[in-house]
Chains A and B, each alone.
Chain A
Amino acid sequence: MNCDDFMTHIQVIRSSSNVQLPENDGFTRHLETCPKCAAEYEEMLRTVSLLENLPDPAPPPDLADRIQRRIAKEENFNRPAFFANPFVRVLRALKLNPHPTLVNCTAMVFYLMLTVFLVKLTFFSESDNSRRVSSPTSSVWRSAHVVTTSWAEIRGIPTPIEDTESTMPVEVLIQER
């Protein structure tokens, strides 16, 4: 065994163990006869011993409290709001687990739509005609009709028919007098 073989295959992971060398007499013999490799081996044992004796860092005394507070905050933030509880029950029954913010938003939109529907049902439940009359803009829309014209006509400029851009039909709302 030469020095290169020794250094390539030697593995030192514990300082206390007696079985530091691979199970091959060549390693032990080389170690006994080569001061350079013996020094390297000692150096590795010393490095490992330094690592083994590193103390365990003590955590700050309030660290556990800080962790628990942060988790409680997260829990409150991510908990569906009280008004979303019926939705949560339905979603649980369906074995669905969307993000609480999504559940809250859905619940809010649902309640908003329900409110609009109820208000409409209570105050605006008359016939279609009476609703039109009551609207301030309805007279304008009733008397308006749609005609098709071209940009050229609007501008008052006579242009050749081949000019596709200027003859492109547009819809213009003209109010009857």
Chain B
Amino acid sequence: MVCYMIPDDVYVHKTVEGDGSAFNELVQRHYTKIYGLACRMLGNPDDASDATQETFLEAYKSLESFQFQSKFSTWLYRVAINTCQQHIRKSDSRGRTLISYSNSLREPGCNAEADIPERLALKTERDNLIQAAINQLPPKQRAVVVLFYAQNLKYREIALVLDCSEGTVASRLNTAIRNLKSMLKDL
């Protein structure tokens, strides 16, 4: 985790007081992580870009509700998870994901768009299959897997993000790994 000289909270205060440029600093600090989270949650680079933008927009609009009881990043993860879950519920994200993955598997290396970094990130066949398996998990299990393995958060932090107990986090993670094990058997 990157440590900054000036903590996030300072920029949060500045933004709430009306300094628009302060929020840009928060965007610069966190957008890569939030994009990574959205990408793994939604399994689709385009949806992930949309969800990342919506996450920051929502965070900006509801920044006054941030009570400084947790780290800003934890709060932002919570906003991101909610946004991703809305995406999953609203659109047929799972269908779009599977189509995009099966297409990329059918045309390995000959897709001009594959050179775009956001697609490059998910280019290998094995990664695609793992991602497709993650997409098959129920949203709550998916969130725990992504926060633990892709974002390297601890049980305590995940519990704060998802507003549940550490025991629930452990149990969801265990169930998710067992589900993934059977899905990735032939890999």
What is the interface of chain A, defined by CB distance below 8 A to chain B? 11-13, 43-44, 47-48, 50-52, 54-61, 63-64, 66-68, 70-72, 74-75
A70–B150 CB distance below 8 A: no
Q: Of B23, B48, B122, B127, which contacts A71 at CB under 8 A?
A: B23
Interface of B is mostly: helix
A57–B36 CB distance below 8 A: yes
Cβ of A11 to closest chain B Cβ, rounded Å: 5
Query: For A57, what are the chain B residues with a Cβ–Cβ distance below 8 Å?
Result: 35-36, 39-40, 45, 48, 118, 121-122
A58–B121 CB distance below 8 A: yes
Number of B positions contacting A (CB below 8 A): 44
Give me 27 A-to-B residue pairs in the complex whose CB atoms sit less than 8 angstroms apart, sorted by A's number.
A11-B174, A13-B174, A43-B185, A44-B178, A47-B177, A47-B184, A50-B187, A51-B149, A51-B177, A54-B131, A56-B150, A57-B36, A57-B118, A57-B122, A58-B117, A58-B118, A58-B121, A59-B52, A59-B117, A60-B45, A63-B52, A67-B56, A71-B23, A71-B27, A71-B57, A74-B57, A75-B20
Cβ of B52 to closest chain A Cβ, rounded Å: 6
Please judge, given known A-B contacts A44-B177, A64-B31, whether A54 and B40 are in contact too, CB under 8 Å: yes
Q: List 4 A-B pairs, minimum CB-CB distance, nearest first.
A: A57-B121, A59-B35, A57-B39, A51-B149
Residue on A nearest B171 in the bound complex, by CB: A11
Question: Does B66 count as interface, using CB distance less than 8 angstroms?
Answer: no
What is the interface of chain B, defined by CB distance below 8 A to chain A? 20, 23-24, 27-28, 31-32, 35-36, 39-40, 45, 48-49, 52-53, 56-57, 60-61, 116-118, 120-122, 126-127, 130-131, 145, 148-150, 170, 173-174, 177-178, 180-181, 184-185, 187
Q: Of A44, A54, A70, which contacts B149 at CB under 8 A?
A: A54
Query: For A71, what are the chain B residues with a Cβ–Cβ distance below 8 Å?
Result: 20, 23-24, 27, 56-57, 60
Residue on A nearest B122 in the bound complex, by CB: A57
Q: Of A56, A61, A67, which contacts B52 at CB under 8 A?
A: A67
Instruction: Kindly list 16 other residue pairs between chains A and B, CB separation below 8 angstroms, not including A59-B49, A72-B20.
Output: A13-B177, A43-B181, A43-B185, A48-B177, A54-B149, A57-B36, A57-B45, A57-B48, A57-B118, A59-B31, A63-B35, A67-B31, A71-B57, A74-B60, A74-B61, A75-B60
Please judge, given known A-B contacts A70-B57, A72-B20, whether A11 and B149 are in contact too, CB under 8 Å: no
Cβ of B134 to closest chain A Cβ, rounded Å: 8
Q: How far is the CA of A55 from the CA of B24 in the complex (A)?
A: 26
Q: How far is the CA of A96 from the CA of B57 in the complex (A)?
A: 23
